[in-house]
Amino acid sequence: MKNWSERLEPTDFTATYKVNNVIYELQSPHQHIMLFENATMGRVLAIDGVVQTTENDEFTYHEMLVHVPILAHGAAKKILVIGGGDGGCIKELFKHFSIESVTLVDIDESVITISQKYLEKICGNAFSDPRLNIVISDGAIFVKECVEKFDLIIVDSPDPIGAGEILFSKEFYSNCKRVMSDSSVLITQNGVPFTQGKELQRSISIWRTLFSDSRCYLTNVPSYIGGPLAIGWATNDINLRSTPLEVIEERFKKALIKCDYYTPETHIAAFALPKYIRKLL
């Protein structure tokens, strides 16, 4: 047994895991991938030295990443997921029978292959759903060249380092807007504001030049240390974020989905930001 520590910014504050077993390790053409077992978190997927997801807490992230925009929108049928090669996001999406198609764009096929083989607890059978279209490509290039429109775009990306850096640029966000309608929603992983506040500030400042409603909401992911995680929200439909609780409750009831974190009440509360985060924005 050995210890492994994240190489997460800021480097003076990090998490250390006891590694019971290294299941897989690979330097792909795009990034370093490591999958190991930890007694508390189960199987842990780390990319370029940073934890991306774990078997035991992924639901706190993926459920909020997906069900908040789906149930706020109420009629999202065509979805684009950029990143998300672990399959947790698409697993939650496919719980909604109303969704007609999901396009998953990931730059690294290795992540998908590893997840299908070793992370079934996270992805389930989502990769075999007939509504899924997998594209192995750079997400930034995909949205630049795409001619389709999507009701919802979820950017399930790493932090803005290495291969994920371009997914936080103004050019990328502008191209996302190009493949959205006025009622579409853009959802992003935007780091832990307490330790990565500049990341959230930068995204919000760009969205304010592009969208009518720019905000974030929060979820608590134990493996993402430093406080609650910010999930970015951008849309031109200013009414979606204030969808009434009773409407969300009715949509949730009709969807017949089972969750371990998400509830309609949690949905509403997630947009109530602590003062230190409001100051960042």
Does residue 223 sit in the same domain as residue 192? yes
pLDDT of 45 reads 98
pLDDT of 1 reads 67
Q: What is the CATH number of the domain that holds 232?
A: 3.40.50.150
Does residue 32 sit in the same domain as residue 99? no
**Could you read off the pLDDT of 168-194 as tens digits, one per residue?**
999 999 999 999 999 999 999 999 999
Point out the residues of the chain with pLDDT beneath 70: 1, 162-163
Does residue 225 sit in the same domain as residue 113? yes
pLDDT of 181 reads 94
pLDDT of 8 reads 83
pLDDT of 184 reads 98
Whole-prediction pTM: 0.96
**Could you read off the pLDDT of 94-147 as tens digits, one per residue?**
999 999 999 999 999 999 999 999 999 999 999 999 999 999 999 999 999 999
Q: What is the CATH number of the domain that holds 33?
A: 2.30.140.10
**C-alpha atoms less than 13 angstroms from C-alpha of 189 in its C-beta half-sphere:** 23
User: Of the candidates 13, 39, 54, which is a domain's last residue?
Assistant: 54
Residue 11's contacts (CB-CB under 8 Å, 6 or more residues apart) are: none
Does residue 104 sit in the same domain as residue 164? yes
Does residue 113 sit in the same domain as residue 200? yes
Does residue 50 sit in the same domain as residue 127? no
Does residue 111 sit in the same domain as residue 175? yes
Does residue 148 sit in the same domain as residue 268? yes
Sheet order of strands, 42-47 included: 21-27, 32-38, 42-47, 50-54
Strand partners, 14: none
pLDDT of 162 reads 66
User: Of the candidates 35, 54, 73, which is a domain's last residue?
Assistant: 54
pLDDT of 166 reads 85
Does residue 135 sit in the same domain as residue 232? yes
Q: Which residues are catalytic?
A: 156
Tell me how far apart the terminal alpha carbons of the chain are, to the nearest angstrom: 43
39: containing domain: 2-54
pLDDT of 241 reads 96
Does residue 241 sit in the same domain as residue 175? yes
Q: Give how many domains the chain has, as a whole number.
A: 2
pLDDT of 229 reads 98
Does residue 48 sit in the same domain as residue 32? yes
Does residue 162 sit in the same domain as residue 49? no
Long-range CB contacts (within 8 A, 24+) of 6-15: 6/46, 6/49, 6/50, 6/51, 7/48, 7/49, 7/50, 8/49, 8/50, 8/51, 8/159, 8/225, 9/159, 9/161, 9/195, 9/196, 10/195, 13/195, 13/225, 13/226, 14/225, 15/51, 15/223, 15/225
pLDDT of 34 reads 97
